A and B are shown apart, each in its own frame.
Chain A
Amino acid sequence: MLFSILALATALFIVNSKNVFYSAVSLAFLGISVAVLIADINPAAYSLYSAFHLILYVGATVVFLSISLVMFRGLEVKEVKTPWAPSLAIVAAIAFFAVLVLSTSSITPSGTPEQLNLAVVGEKLISQYWFPTFILIVALLTTMIEALSLARRD
């Protein structure tokens, strides 16, 4: 409950803050809240991903964003008032939730979720999902090279 409120509050702060640097820092709190919420769903199975989310998302992505934003001047956001934006967001949320409820109404909830084994995860990544893993490794390598070239450029 606490982390649900924290997630929603930080998300609202991100979209309403006048300075995008503070928004980027708040994204770390959103990431932490989401990681806790995921672990809360099924601690035995999802705590591994929760740790991964904290390390890779909060530890790498958000820190990269926050540090990179220091390079810019004029981080204050000019307010653009789109009068129909809140109503469209509410309509989208209601429609999405209705679709979600309708699609899950036919699902019979399973009482016993699978127990997670780290060795099986590794085995699945290498054998069953080897191509996406390969693409991910290449993409992360490219990202590292890109970050280096960005840092070196005048």
Chain B
Amino acid sequence: MIVVDSALVVATLLIAIGIYGLLNSKNVIRVLLSSEIILNAAILLIFSMSALVGKSYTPLIFSVFAIGMALTEVVVAFASVILYYRQKGSLEVD
């Protein structure tokens, strides 16, 4: 259980760092990367909690969907960023 507990602590700290990154930057890419940190923390949390309960299939399948959707989200977000950059010439948001 020590491994699971340390994973929970790491996930919590990663969420804190992600929130700090979201609040402390106006750069669109930095905001996207901070949300990716929170996504990684959430996936780590899913597996830690599932190990606690003793389930193996549900977290695996849910995380596969989460990672697939994260890939889609990054590409869609990046398309928006490219359009924003073409219009404004900068990656900073007001």
Contact = CB atoms under 8 A, between A and B. Distances in A.
A15 B24 contact: yes
The secondary-structure label for the interface of chain B is helix
Given A65-B78, A68-B78, A93 B47 contact: no
A70 to B, nearest CB: 12
Contact of B20 (A78, A81, A89, A115): A89
Given A85-B24, A139-B69, A15 B51 contact: no
Interface residues of B, number: 66
Interface of A: 1, 4, 7-8, 11-12, 14-15, 20, 23-24, 27, 30-31, 34, 37-38, 40-42, 45-46, 48-49, 52-53, 56-57, 60-61, 64-65, 68-69, 71-72, 74-75, 77-78, 80-82, 84-86, 88-90, 92-93, 96-97, 100, 104, 107, 109-116, 120-121, 124-125, 129, 132-133, 136, 139-140, 142-143, 146-147, 150
Interface of B: 1, 3-4, 6-10, 12-21, 23-27, 29-30, 32-34, 36-37, 40, 43-45, 47-49, 51-57, 59-61, 63-65, 67-72, 74-76, 78-79, 82, 85, 90-92
Which 6 pairs from chain A and chain B are nearest by CB? A110-B54, A15-B21, A93-B16, A89-B20, A85-B23, A114-B56
